[in-house]
Amino acid sequence: MSKRQAIVIGSGFGGLAAAIRLQAAGVQTQLFEQRDKPGGRAYVYEEQGFVFDAGPTVVTVPQVIEELFELSGKKMSDYIELLPVHPFYRLFWEDGEIFNYDNDETKLLAEIGRRNPADVQGYKDYLEYAEKVYEEGYVKLGHVPFLKFWDMIKVSPQLLKLKAHRPVYKTISHYMKDDKTRQAMSFNSLLIGGNPFEISSVYTLIHPLEKKFGVHFPKGGTHALVRALVKLFEDIGGQAHVSAPIERIVTHNDRTIGVKVKGQKDMVPADIVVSNADIYHTYSSLLRGVPSADRKTKAMQRKDFSMSLFVIYFGTNKRWDNLTHHNIMFGNRYKGLLDDIFRSGQLAEDFSIYLHAPCETDPSLAPEGHYSYYALAPVPNMKVAQIDWEDEAPRYCEKILDYLERFYMPGLKDSIKVKSHFSPRDFETELNAIHGSAFSLTPSLQQSAYFRTHNRDSAIDGLYFVGAGTHPGAGIPGVIGSAKATCSVIGQDLNLPMH
């Protein structure tokens, strides 16, 4: 029998992980990426010696990455070094309050107790709760496929007993009373695109997850990790192509038979096609005209997609002592601002910012005496708010820089040597992301597990999905987990030994 052939569309962490798993299992795999560099949301910009990772910067659960090297018979340390980051985050408020968020229990309890002594016990009780959710939601379910409704019914009782259907913020408020501690404990669901006032308490598992596995940063930046995974894939015999947009998934009698690369005459044949591209783009564009895909396109138009982000990349000749690697700057409004981002249909005048200062961990990411940064503000996606970003982006960019200069980075604007920005419009045009969503489908209860895009298409044989739009969802551990779930289904379907 000739060797099985697979094609993976898109080189996000989910696509890369799936390609590695398939190739390691003996399936001849080709990866096609439309952009000129791999990584998807983890793209990289380089200008005048400044290196700017475009997206993910908080790497947790390194074990899921290490597993990819191990199952390929390689050692991660030969490819990439992951540096620990401390504190995990430094949180700032406009009134000058600071909260260092770390996994050092004594220091964390001191931060919480300083704000409200009663919250120390509240936090301990909360941690106990979140650890149970972590066991049920991550250890047992983080990388299993939900293809049948029954798969979900089987696991629901435990999560229901934990009242995991309640919103994250409500659960946290039950245990802790201080407003800022509540913000400190709940903001991290935004890192996977969820509004803490709406998404289910399943996502309280992020806190124990970070505590157990730490926060890391790849030496050389997140894109060094992307390059390491591409090298691993190629070292075991896979083929990666960049600047190779797929314009069509070719089907015959409800089965995938290959893909059409834009500008190439012949179809590239394959038994299996795994799409890591945006799910809506996959159905509405790559499979347009296939009746089952057209139905899914329609159904998906009614779904909720996550918020978008506005990101400014800037390089300076100045460093600020008050900053650490990961900084969160909260505005005066928390719930009100999140309502505006997720619901209201307008761009708020205020914002909360995540500021990435990677040179605090790895000075090689900027020329000597210089520093790379990015500032990110969550903003509504383009369905929630119809904003003309061409027009708005330069104004919004200046507003954020003025704000940072005023509260946290005196002398910022004069110190800037290079600067660029990425708006919701760019998420749509550069990444084919519907409504410019940064994290695909919102991780609401109605759009999780069985109700999220299935790892295997129900109507087209040979078509599979990985990435943020599938179970378990966005974030590096999430999308790498989705590749494990998807490849386990492919293994069953093709009777392949899949790790």
Ligand X SMILES: Cc1cc2nc3c(=O)[nH]c(=O)nc-3n(C[C@H](O)[C@H](O)[C@H](O)COP(=O)(O)OP(=O)(O)OC[C@H]3O[C@@H](n4cnc5c(N)ncnc54)[C@H](O)[C@@H]3O)c2cc1C
Does 474 participate in binding ligand X (rule CB under 6 A)? yes
CA distance 461 to 459: 6
The CA distances from residue 66 to 29, 76, 408, in Å, are 20, 6, 37
Helix (H/G/I), strand (E/B), else coil: 394: helix
Does 9 participate in binding ligand X (rule CB under 6 A)? yes
Q: Which two tokens stand for residue 177?
A: 């009373």
Does 35 participate in binding ligand X (rule CB under 6 A)? yes
Binding span for ligand X by CB under 6 A among 74-82, 144-152, 163-171, 430-438: 430-438
Closest distance between ligand X and the C-beta of residue 493, in Å?
21
CA distance 6 to 19: 8
Closest distance between ligand X and the C-beta of residue 363, in Å?
20
Does 221 participate in binding ligand X (rule CB under 6 A)? no
Binding span for ligand X by CB under 6 A among 110-118, 378-386, 449-457, 473-481: 473-481
Binding span for ligand X by CB under 6 A among 66-74, 361-369, 469-477, 491-499: 469-477
**What does 111-145 look like in DSSP terms, one character per residue?**
HHHHH-THHHHHHHHHHHHHHHHHIIIIITTTT--
Does 481 participate in binding ligand X (rule CB under 6 A)? no
Torsion (CA) 191, 98, 408, 344 in degrees, nearest 10: 40
Does 101 participate in binding ligand X (rule CB under 6 A)? no
Alpha-carbon torsion (167, 153, 437, 298), positive or negative: negative
Go through 285-309 and write b for each residue having 16 or more CB atoms within 10 A of its CB, e for each that does not.
bbbeebebbeebbeebeebbbbbbb
CA distance 11 to 114: 45
CA distance 307 to 362: 30
Q: Would you say 271 or 278 has its CB closer to ligand X?
A: 278
Q: What is the DSSP letter of 223?
A: H
Q: Would you say 123 or 310 has its CB closer to ligand X?
A: 310
- Taking residue 26's Cβ as centre, other Cβ atoms within 10 Å add up to 14
Does 11 participate in binding ligand X (rule CB under 6 A)? yes
Size of the site for ligand X (CB under 6 A): 37
Q: Would you say 52 or 123 has its CB closer to ligand X?
A: 52
Q: Which two tokens stand for residue 429?
A: 């045009």
The CA distances from residue 351 to 98, 226, 340, 401, in Å, are 17, 30, 10, 12
- Of 33, 67, 271, 457, the residue at the interface with ligand X (CB under 6 A) is 33
CA distance 93 to 71: 44
Closest distance between ligand X and the C-beta of residue 281, in Å?
5
Q: Would you say 134 or 439 has its CB closer to ligand X?
A: 439
- Of 276, 316, 352, 448, the residue at the interface with ligand X (CB under 6 A) is 276
- Of 467, 472, 486, 498, the residue at the interface with ligand X (CB under 6 A) is 467
Q: Would you say 173 or 488 has its CB closer to ligand X?
A: 488
Beta carbons of 23 and 237 less than 8 angstroms apart: yes
Q: Which two tokens stand for residue 283?
A: 């159905």
Closest distance between ligand X and the C-beta of residue 286, in Å?
6
Closest distance between ligand X and the C-beta of residue 440, in Å?
7
Q: Which two tokens stand for residue 120?
A: 């120390």
Closest distance between ligand X and the C-beta of residue 44, in Å?
12
Q: Which two tokens stand for residue 187?
A: 């903001």
Does 448 participate in binding ligand X (rule CB under 6 A)? no
Q: Would you say 21 or 112 has its CB closer to ligand X?
A: 21
The residues in 339-398 that bind ligand X, with binding defined as CB under 6 A, are: 376
Does 248 participate in binding ligand X (rule CB under 6 A)? no
Beta carbons of 240 and 233 less than 8 angstroms apart: yes
Q: x/- string (CB under 6 A) for ligand X, residues 36-55?
A: ----xxx------------x
Beta carbons of 26 and 1 less than 8 angstroms apart: no
Binding span for ligand X by CB under 6 A among 3-11, 101-109, 377-385, 452-460: 3-11
Q: Would you say 182 or 356 has its CB closer to ligand X?
A: 356
CA neighbor of 379 nearest in space, from 419, 422, 409: 422
Binding span for ligand X by CB under 6 A among 66-74, 154-162, 169-177, 273-281: 273-281
Closest distance between ligand X and the C-beta of residue 244, in Å?
7
Does 190 participate in binding ligand X (rule CB under 6 A)? no
Does 64 participate in binding ligand X (rule CB under 6 A)? no
Does 468 participate in binding ligand X (rule CB under 6 A)? yes
Helix (H/G/I), strand (E/B), else coil: 43: coil
Beta carbons of 3 and 23 less than 8 angstroms apart: no
Q: Which residues bind ligand X (CB under 6 A)?
A: 9-15, 32-35, 40-42, 55-58, 191, 245-246, 276-277, 281, 309, 311, 376, 431-432, 438-439, 467-468, 474-476, 479
